[in-house]
Structure 1
C-alpha cells in the first residue's frame, strides 16, 4: 500500500498538470512527471529542505503566476 509520500506526489502532479493546461507555453505532461518526482530524496533530508516551500511561496508572491489560475 502506498504511503503518504506517494499520495502527496500524485496529488501535486495532478494539480501541476491542471495548472500547466492553463499556461499556453507549458507542457502539461512534463509538468505532471516533474511534480510526480519532485520529492525524491526528501525523506532522508526533510529537515534540511523545509525552507523549500517558503521559497516557492515567495516566488509566487513576487510574480504573476496566480493570475493564470483565476
Structure 2
C-alpha cells in the first residue's frame, strides 16, 4: 500500500505545481500555457492508470 501511495503522490505533486504556475500567470493565454496543461493531462492519465492497476491488483488479492 505504501508503494501505491507514492505512485499517486508523485503525479499529484506535478499536477499541483503546474496548476500553481498557471494561477500565477492569469494574463497568459491557453496557447502560451499549453505545455503546463498537457503535463497536467498526462499526469492525470498516469494517475488513472496507476489507480486502475492498484484496484485490479487489490481485488484479486482480496478475492483469491
Query: Given the two structures, how large is their TM-score scaled by the length of structure 2?
Result: 0.39
Greater relative contact order (Cα 8 A, min sep 6): structure 1 or 2?
2
Bigger CA radius of gyration: 2
TM-score (ref. length: structure 1):
0.36
Higher helix share: 2
